[in-house]
């Protein structure tokens, strides 16, 4: 899983993983992937299709991302974040 095949499709608004965003960038969630605690858990934290996310910080060596969804900050492991598909805006 070194390179994600979707990573070069971001120019024309196609869905890309959340992990391709840089701090300060914003995007719209288009699909939620799997998580050990299920999609339900994402939604109860405010992560839903159609929501706008902003990256607050990323950590080196594929560490967790801190994102802002409607004023709530969530820390999310890289392995989960790469299953969340977004569209850059």
Partner 1 sequence: MKKISLMGCPNVGKSVVFSRLTGVSVISSNYPGTTVDFTKGTTAIGGEKFELIDVPGTYSLAPTSKAEEVAQTMLQEGDIVIDVIDSTHLERNLYLTLEILGRKKPTIVALNLWDETKHVGIDIDVDKLEKLLDVPIVPTCAITGEGIKELASKLRDARQSKAIEPMSEEERWLKVGEIVSEVQVVHHRHHTIWERIADTTVKPITGIPIAILVILLTFLFIIVIGNLIIEYLMDPIFYNYYGPWVVGVVNSFSPDGLLHDILIGKSTIESLDFTQSLGLLTTGLYVPFSMVLPFVITFYFMLSLLEDVGYLPRLAVLVDTGLHKLGLHGSAIVPTILGFGCNVPGTLATRILETEKQRFIAVTLMAIAVPCMAQSAMIFGILGRYGMKWIFIVYCTLLMLYIFIGLLLKKIVRGESPELLLEVPPYRKPDPSTLLKKTWSKAYGFLAEAVPFVILGVFIVNLLYVSGVIGVLSTVFSPVLTTLLGLPEGAIVALIMGILRKDVAIGMLLPLGMSPQQLTIACIILTTYFPCIATFFVLLHELGIRDMLKAAGLMITVSLTVGIIMRLILIGI
For the stretch 53-60, contacts whose Cβ atoms lie closer than 8 Å and that sit 24 or more positions apart, written own/partner, are 53/18, 53/21, 53/26, 53/27, 53/28, 53/29, 53/86, 54/24, 54/25, 54/26, 55/21, 55/22, 55/23, 55/24, 55/25, 55/26, 56/23, 57/23, 58/22, 58/23
How far apart are CB 3 and partner 1 at their closest, in Å?
20
Site string for partner 1, 21-60 (x = CB under 8 A): --x-----------xxxx-xx-xxxx-x-------xxxxx
Residue 4 binds to partner 1 (criterion: CB under 8 A): no
Options 79, 87, 88, 89; binder of partner 1; rule CB under 8 A: 79
Residue 62 binds to partner 1 (criterion: CB under 8 A): yes
Binding site for partner 1 (CB under 8 A): 23, 35-38, 40-41, 43-46, 48, 56-64, 66, 70-80
């Amino acid at each position: 899983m070194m390179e994600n095949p979707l990573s070069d499709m971001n120019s024309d608004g196609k869905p890309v993983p959340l992990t391709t965003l840089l701090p300060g960038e914003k995007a719209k969630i288009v699909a939620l992937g799997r998580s050990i605690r299920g999609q339900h858990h994402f939604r109860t934290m405010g992560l839903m299709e159609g929501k706008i996310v902003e990256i607050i910080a990323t950590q080196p060596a594929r560490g967790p991302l801190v994102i802002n969804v409607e004023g709530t900050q969530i820390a999310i492991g890289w392995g989960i974040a790469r299953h969340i598909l977004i569209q850059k805006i």
